[in-house]
A and B are shown apart, each in its own frame.
Chain A
């Protein structure tokens, strides 16, 4: 009996699986005799198989390329958003904002600011603990940069495709607070110390509702892998997690508010609070070290916004069913090894992800210049008395929802959208089937056919040995 249910469980797990790229690669080599260069799914494989580099160098080269690409994003995103912040705040306050640097819209203002900041003297106060004071900005930057490692920008475009991606992300996100606390403590100034303490109290409390809200899509979709979470939201707009049930709808807004607070953005920016604490934790900093804090802040804002887009707003999916299907088809490697369409589809997917993150950032900026700052006791009260119970309730509701639906309606989703919103289990095999065309041109639509294509690992290793 138990064994039977276990077999059923695995059969379901098996049918809803996401076709792994290594399987795809092997089967393409089998089917088409394709050279490994085109079948390579990771940069390391590409260098190792295509360029015949030794393992260590292909590993190092792939790591450097991934890191450089992410550093470019990590640097350029704050560059753009600081300009946007000044422009939006200007418009909201009935001003023009920067207008001169770099032409009409002042779009090079951030560069001018950067050059100014580099030229400033690097000061360390006499009362400060020198080593910690110098180290703190780097800690902030490293933590908010490392978050980008596990974020998938498009199908397969992720530096580290971890199965526990969301968990790793939340863990790294919680490290950013160290830099702030150490900066506050080591500055040797009362204002900084107050800022650091507020930040510590705020972050430790806001992490709980943040993690609980991020868990809601995880329990609904049954995976912690950010790529899979995004892939399961393909199809029409109603397939996005935010429209899945009333609880996920509310959870998105709670997540977004809590994430805004987690990035110490106004109205939750108690750690810096210019009007009461001068500058809070960064009162004593100047020049580049000061700007590192803001580099980290804007980058982590973008990171949490992209995560919100992946968890609730469909990630790289456009929300238009036929367009998503066409992009998924373009992602599949064709028989003659043409990978250009796959590349193009992934670029489009990345732009969609980045654009969704950009929209959410815009809302954060808009909020900052609209709402007044809360008091510290109000911030803590909002978290502990409202967000924590609300997110617990939402979590419980999201768990009970499919159970209640299957009891009363006999299915796990409302289903008023008909074919536009198939049940969760049916979405991914379709993507997997379209990602792997049958060599004979047979139509792969049923989940059974997809399951038959599963190559056991033994075959994989056998094949690897034969190479």
Chain B
């Protein structure tokens, strides 16, 4: 066992423990705390896979954004000191069934993939070498330039030095669609949050 494997088992265990504790605990804010543990460990797993960008995004969006808003919402709306969530037995059975089905689906997917073949084909289609700009190489997570260029629609990691004349497609369209979607959401939120004040003629200051 090497250091990476040890860290993997450690992070995977904390992620699973956190996830189970989210389900088991009754208090909403404790759930949020365990959610932080689970999501943070998942981000750690991404870092371990040298996917720095994805790991940091996980931390920023899920841990730093969503869970903060969750706790904030609970603090704003709670009527008593500590909000408890009680689940009815029927809900427990239903949720347990759905969870088990989902677990079976993921497990069957994982076991159906021929991992050795996938690794071999991945090596065949690996992006061509390009000069590195940082202290570590791309295999150690320094992939932000290829990622950024792919989001701008160019793939120099694939196209440069290859024999084919055509150019690979990037992710410009999905990227733009996502940004427009976010803009729409922002405008909608601003519209909903706007204070609607009707001035009646009788009301004089």
| Interchain nearest-CB distance for A196 vs B (Å) | 7
* Chain B contacts with A in 36-76, Cβ cutoff 8 A: 36, 40, 52-53, 55-57, 59-60, 63-65, 67-69, 71-72, 74-76
Residue in chain A with minimal CB distance to B29: A185
Q: Is B156 an interface residue (CB 8 A)?
A: yes
Say whether, besides A6-B160, A174-B64, A227-B135, A55 and B3 are in contact (CB < 8 Å).
Answer: yes
Residues of A contacting B205 in the complex (Cβ-Cβ under 8 angstroms): none
Most buried by B among A22, A185, A223: A185
> Is the pair A197, B76 in contact by a Cβ cutoff of 8 Å?
yes
Residues of A contacting B69 in the complex (Cβ-Cβ under 8 angstroms): 204
> Of A159-167, A238-246, A261-269, A331-339, which stretch is located at the interface?
A159-167
> Is the pair A132, B75 in contact by a Cβ cutoff of 8 Å?
no
Contact of A2 among B6, B36, B65, B167 (CB under 8 A): B167
> Is the pair B71, A6 in contact by a Cβ cutoff of 8 Å?
no
Give chain B's interface secondary structure class: helix
* Chain A contacts with B in 176-211, Cβ cutoff 8 A: 177-178, 181-182, 184-186, 188, 193, 196-197, 200-201, 203-204, 207
> Is the pair A224, B60 in contact by a Cβ cutoff of 8 Å?
no
Residues of B contacting A55 in the complex (Cβ-Cβ under 8 angstroms): 2-3
Residues of B contacting A20 in the complex (Cβ-Cβ under 8 angstroms): 132-137
Q: Is A3 an interface residue (CB 8 A)?
A: yes
> Is the pair B68, A156 in contact by a Cβ cutoff of 8 Å?
no
Chain B, interface residues (CB within 8 Å), range: 35 or more
* Chain A contacts with B in 149-171, Cβ cutoff 8 A: 156, 158, 161-164, 167-168, 170-171
| Interchain nearest-CB distance for A258 vs B (Å) | 16
| Interchain nearest-CB distance for B48 vs A (Å) | 12
> Of A82-90, A438-446, A454-462, which stretch is located at the interface?
A454-462
Residues of A contacting B169 in the complex (Cβ-Cβ under 8 angstroms): none
Q: Is B89 an interface residue (CB 8 A)?
A: no
Residues of A contacting B76 in the complex (Cβ-Cβ under 8 angstroms): 197
Complex: how many Å from CA A156 to CA B137? 14
Complex: how many Å from CA A224 to CA B144? 8
Q: Is A172 an interface residue (CB 8 A)?
A: yes
Residue in chain B with minimal CB distance to A169: B56
| Interchain nearest-CB distance for B27 vs A (Å) | 7
Q: Can you list 20 pairs linking A and B with CB atoms under 8 Å apart?
A: A17-B131, A18-B134, A22-B135, A22-B137, A139-B36, A156-B135, A161-B135, A162-B134, A162-B141, A163-B142, A164-B52, A167-B57, A177-B64, A177-B68, A178-B63, A181-B72, A182-B33, A193-B75, A204-B69, A458-B129
Q: List chain B positions with a Cβ less than 8 A from chain A.
A: 1-4, 6, 27, 29-30, 33, 36, 40, 52-53, 55-57, 59-60, 63-65, 67-69, 71-72, 74-76, 81-82, 129-137, 141-145, 154, 156, 159-160, 165, 167
Q: What are the nearest 5 A-B pairs in CB distance?
A: A163-B142, A174-B64, A161-B135, A59-B3, A171-B60
What 8 additional pairs, Cβ within 8 angstroms, besides A3-B165, A59-B2, A457-B129?
A9-B154, A17-B133, A22-B132, A55-B3, A168-B56, A225-B133, A225-B134, A225-B142
Q: List chain A positions with a Cβ less than 8 A from chain B.
A: 2-3, 6-7, 9-10, 13-14, 17-18, 20-23, 41-42, 55-56, 59-60, 63, 127, 129, 131-132, 135, 139, 156, 158, 161-164, 167-168, 170-172, 174-175, 177-178, 181-182, 184-186, 188, 193, 196-197, 200-201, 203-204, 207, 223-225, 227-228, 454, 456-458
